[in-house]
Amino acid sequence: MTVNTNFLSPVRIQTPLCVVCNGLTFAPEYAPPNGEAWPVFHARVDRAWTRVLTMAAATPGHLAVVTHGLVCRSLAARHLVLPDGAEVPERWENASLTILDGPAPWRVRLLNCVAHLEDLDALPLADSGAV
């Protein structure tokens, strides 16, 4: 299964009692205006992950999932097996690529990689695939 991630904001779990996001500290029960508290967010991610697992089991070959970095952060911290020595990234790069090997336990083969974006500006537009 291939997971293409898109980063929105850096998040770091500092302690079980608070979350640091963009340099600000938030308690787990904090819900920003028009937003959701961390437990509600993680529950929503868990429901989406269950759907992804169901689709992956029914899909021959690879499955691409496009989402935001905070969702990837939640999954990596709670559902995925990272390579030895790797830590959940605080910042998920824009248009990064993460590749998982499954089935469970889902192991990360490639984590938050942006190598495919290198030298992108050096390509002539006709060779870039742009439409």
Q: Name the residue range of residue 29's domain.
A: 6-100
In a domain, residue 73? The reply is yes
Evaluate if residue 118 carries a pLDDT over 50: yes
Number of compact structural domains in the chain: 1
Each residue's pLDDT tens digit, 88-110: 998 899 999 999 999 999 999 99
In a domain, residue 85? The reply is yes
Share of the chain above pLDDT 90, in %: 53
Evaluate if residue 1 carries a pLDDT over 50: no
In a domain, residue 128? The reply is no
Evaluate if residue 25 carries a pLDDT over 80: no
Structure tokens at 16: 């079980």
In a domain, residue 130? The reply is no
In a domain, residue 24? The reply is yes
